Chains A and B, each alone.
Chain A
Amino acid sequence: MRLNNYVGFFRIILTLVLAMGLRIAPLPPSLAVLNPDWVLLVLIYWSLAMPERVGIFHAWTFGLLTDVLTGRLLGQYALAYSLIIYICLKLHKRLRQFPFLQQGVFIFFCLLLSQLLLFFIKNLQHPAQLHASFWLPVFTGTLSWPVVYALLGFVSFFRRK
């Protein structure tokens, strides 16, 4: 149904906007270094759950918006997100069959790849001197995947009704 389509579309956008809000949440510095890349996690979820609707275009657009949001070089997140969503789309049929733990490992490598790309781009701009905690969001992101999965699963469950 057409109306249902629009509702589904807005649901996706809304969750992505919420994720962008979490991305810049005002946390104390000790927690801010742990803040995972919520936008990427939500994009991965939707690309696995609804590959016919959320694709590279969404990833690229929201990547660009995240660039503006966090004041980065324009296109940095756009590149990382669209690459990872491309991989997710290619593998989504297999990934859905994976047991949960194996999915977690895949998410870990997705987040690691995105962080590596960001590190690479940062290094291109000027030699970056980064603290080891730069890699922490990869771990916290993997740990928060079940939460994202459960919450968005709840959201998309209502969509089917």
Chain B
Amino acid sequence: MDGLRTTLSFFVDPIKYLVDLPSVLLDQIIDSATTYRTLKLENESLREEQLIHQTKLLKFAALEKENIRLRALLENSFKLGEQVLVAELLSVNMEPYEHIVVVNKGTRFGVHPQQPVLDANGVVGQVFRALPFSSEIMLITDPNHAIPVQVNRNGLLTIAVGSGQLNKLVLPYLPSNADIRPGDLLITSGLGGTFPQGYPVAVVDEFTSQPNKAFASITATPKALLDRNRELMIVWSKSIPVPFISKSVTSEAGSPVDAIK
């Protein structure tokens, strides 16, 4: 059946791109109408931002290697660096009751179902269906979506379920005495295997214990700008675990890392 869908999508995908065309044109018109001054200001602020990010990254490489080495000592496998593909959102509306968006990259670019999708601020969702020239992405706020998360502060594991509203996630499986409070950052826990570990997902909003029920009612706001971003990143996480560093390999430091990268 997937073959039939793929074949039919060759006829249907042009319609998606056609519907998307007005918003692309509008963006281009707005782009060409920005003045030299605003462009220059934007450029300056971006350069500053890049400088800050680069200084933060300076130590990151060293820390990553150190982390891998420490994990190897603990005989623990660790997922390594990811590869990303930038995909652009097509402004089409599939179904009003589902949070599924369409992007302009498909199996032609190696996209496959269940790939995690991120934006600059956090996790957006996962690839739901990949067609040759477009793919459908289920957002984390879709009522049918659940994502395994972890409280960054103390490592508490739970599941965040979509609520059907673009600015709200629900954490239905935590007891009333769980150590979680408003403002806590939730990151992906890496359990379940779909999402790589350590990406920010949401910030806890509200925690109310319900004395008459087993679980507390907790809501969180997604970090990703689900309704504003046009650029999304589709991630390939390398699922090959790093082999335990045996004695022969430890002598040439870091070689398993390079082999996988």
Residues of A whose CB lies within 8 Å of any CB of B are 17, 20-21, 24-27, 29, 32-33, 35, 64-65, 68-72, 74, 129-131, 133-134
Contact = CB atoms under 8 A, between A and B. Distances in A.
A17 B96 contact: no
Pick from B11, B91, B96, B128 the residue with the most CB of A within 10 Å: B96
A10 B8 CA distance: 19
B94 interface: yes
19 contacts: A20-B12, A21-B18, A21-B19, A24-B16, A24-B94, A26-B23, A33-B96, A33-B97, A35-B93, A65-B8, A65-B12, A70-B94, A71-B94, A71-B95, A74-B1, A74-B4, A129-B143, A131-B97, A133-B96
Contacts of B1: 74
Contact of A69 (B15, B100, B129): B15
A17 B15 contact: yes
Contact of B16 (A69, A72, A74): A69
Nearest to B138: A71
A133 B91 CA distance: 23
Pick from A25, A71, A131 the residue with the most CB of B within 10 Å: A71
Given A68-B9, A71-B129, A29 B96 contact: yes
A24 B8 contact: no
Pick from A69, A129, A133 the residue with the most CB of B within 10 Å: A69
Contacts of B128: 71
Contacts of A74: 1, 4-5
A25 B96 contact: no
Nearest to A26: B91
A134 B94 CA distance: 14
Contacts of B97: 33, 130-131, 134
B136 interface: yes
B11 A65 contact: yes
Contacts of B91: 26
B92 interface: yes
Counting chain B residues whose Cβ lies within 8 A of the other chain, the interface size class is 20 to 34
Contacts of A71: 94-95, 100, 128-129, 136
B19 A26 contact: yes
Pick from B12, B20, B100 the residue with the most CB of A within 10 Å: B12
Contact of A68 (B12, B18, B19, B95): B12
A64 B8 contact: yes
A29 to B, nearest CB: 7
Contacts of A134: 97
Given A26-B23, A26-B91, A69-B16, A32 B8 contact: no
B15 A20 contact: yes
Contacts of A21: 15, 18-19
Nearest to B19: A21
Given A21-B15, A26-B92, A65-B8, 9 more contacts: A20-B15, A24-B92, A24-B93, A26-B19, A33-B96, A69-B12, A71-B94, A71-B128, A130-B97
Contacts of B19: 21, 24-26
A68 B92 contact: no
Pick from A24, A29, A64, A134 the residue with the most CB of B within 10 Å: A24
Nearest to A128: B97
A25 B19 CA distance: 6
A133 B16 CA distance: 25
B95 A70 contact: yes
Nearest to B131: A68
Nearest to A131: B97
A29 B167 CA distance: 14
A27 B91 CA distance: 9
B15 A24 contact: yes
Contacts of B23: 26
Interface string B48-80: 000000000000000000000000000000000
